[in-house]
Amino acid sequence: MCEECKELVDPKEEQLEQILAHHKREKGALIPVLQEAQGLYGYLPEHVIKHISRGLGIPSAKVYGVVTFYAQFRLTPMGRNVISVCLGTACHVRGGAKVLEAIEKDTKIKDGQTTEDGRFTLEIVNCIGACGLAPVMSINGNVHGRLNADQIPGILAEYK
């Protein structure tokens, strides 16, 4: 490949080719390939799904079906700050829904959405593993516990 052409090729595409080559002969390679591709891109854009489909010889409809079946895969980019709100039993009983409402009001997004400015992505989870601090949320892995709705604007302001 000429030097000018190399500059036009996205380095991620080359890495995706390496991922495909590494897993190509493995039985059940689709999920590991999707996981690594999402790690590379941050989500699974349409062109990546098509590339994986061609690379593994699997119909793109089947690849898309796997992507949409498993909650771990994303078809849209994540925000710079990922808010995970726990609605497990302990958090639910102690007011997790009110915390979620306050987050939705402040960010103007719902579960699975990202703010227009790309600042926040909101996701509802079943457990964060901090039941003793319920209700809890984590932002980029930083756990905030014993929450009430009034605290939310101040906490989110720290991430703006």
| Residue list, annotated binding site | 86, 91, 127, 131
Nearest to 42 by CA among 18, 83, 78: 78
Q: Which residues sit in the known binding site for [2Fe-2S] cluster? A: 86, 91, 127, 131
Estimate the crossing angle of helix 30-41 against helix 60-69, to 10 degrees: 70
Going by the DSSP 8-state scheme, the letter that residue 124 receives in this structure is: E
Q: How far apart are CA 97 and CA 104, in angstroms?
A: 10
Contacts of 136 (CB under 8 A, 6+ apart): 86, 91, 96, 128, 130, 143, 144, 145, 146, 147
Both tokens of residue 132?
Answer: 């003793």
Sign of the dihedral defined by the CA atoms of residues 158, 142, 31, 38, in that order = positive
